[in-house]
Amino acid sequence: MLETFHPTTWTPEISQPETIPTEAKRTESLIPKAYAFIVNARVLVQNKEYNLALNLLRQASNLQTHALILKEMVQVLIFKKAWDEAYKLIQKWYILYPGFEASYFKAQVEYELSFDDYSLQSYFECLSHVDSEKIELFDIFKNIGNIYVRKR
């Protein structure tokens, strides 16, 4: 199951049968207590308890720096529309774990903050990591077009 990012429609990852191998691969380097914080934070996010979820994710990040913890924190901040805080955290995530996901989230938040030049650069960086068809490609190309229209 592919995740898509959109501030109003994102839903947290829930381990469905087809995502269990992916989830196991992504969490194998997490210490058990940090993973427990993530799982509980996801339950809180489903119930729109974003501040409590952030508290748990911050506790997890105090235990260990991991891409999944940073991603979950960014997604909760996006739900809260805390764009500036999300942007600061995404920059850390991107530096520590560059790749498609980090550059995609970075581009999306830059787009929301109207940082058009940075957003374009991040979208193109994101496209350089694409090796197969991804559901996010529609949003990427749509937003690139919107940026060019805004810059006219």
DSSP annotation of 9: T
- pTM of the complete model: 0.74
Q: Are 146 and 119 in contact (CB under 8 A)?
A: no
CA–CA dist 93, 76 (Å, integer)? 14
Which amino acid is residue 143, in one-letter code?
Answer: N
Mean pLDDT by 10 residues, the chain (152 residues): 45 43 59 90 94 94 89 93 92 88 92 93 92 88 92 82
> What pLDDT does 32 receive?
87
> What pLDDT does 151 receive?
82
> What pLDDT does 3 receive?
46
